[in-house]
Amino acid sequence: MFYESCHRLQDCLQDMAAGFGGQRRAVLARELTKLHETFIDAPLAELAQRVAEDEDQRRGEMVLLIEGLAEAEQKSPQELDVDRTLNILLEELPLKQAAAIAARLTGLRRNDLYQRGLELKDLGDLGDAEDADDCMGAGGRTKQEARGE
């Protein structure tokens, strides 16, 4: 909930649309408990546009109610810690070992952590060098070739 001045309302809505996302739902409650009390319920981008087009919506006392982040969009602290743990381990270890150690540290399933490690790599957070090290030795040869097998 935000209390906003009529002089700053338009800039505030534009900033909120940019920061929270234009599709985030909001309610502009104007002139509460007064004769010209109004409520506008719309996504932030649309609300900013309506306020810009209608000068009457920029008068009086304003209260903005902004929808919170949906639970599906939020990462739990444990998920954030898992990603951090995996990233640190993957800087030094192959994915298989990193997932196994992360499983021991977090109590989560190794297969789930392995899949999350693959997702992190796809996001570009990690390099691909550790995968190559799993099967390739020095000079681009397999470890077996390097040993003469």
The neighbour count for residue 74, using CB atoms within 10 Å, is: 9
| Prediction pTM value | 0.49
Q: What is the structure's pLDDT at 131?
A: 41
Q: What is the structure's pLDDT at 132?
A: 38
The superfamily (CATH) of domain 2-72 is: Tetrapyrrole methylase, C-terminal domain (3.30.950.10)
Domain ranges of the chain: 2-72, 77-133
Q: What is the structure's pLDDT at 16?
A: 92
Q: Are 9 and 47 in contact (CB under 8 A)?
A: no
CA 138 to chain centre: 39
Mean pLDDT per 10-residue section of the chain, whose length is 149 residues:
90 91 93 90 94 90 88 61 88 92 89 90 56 41 46
Q: What is the structure's pLDDT at 45?
A: 93
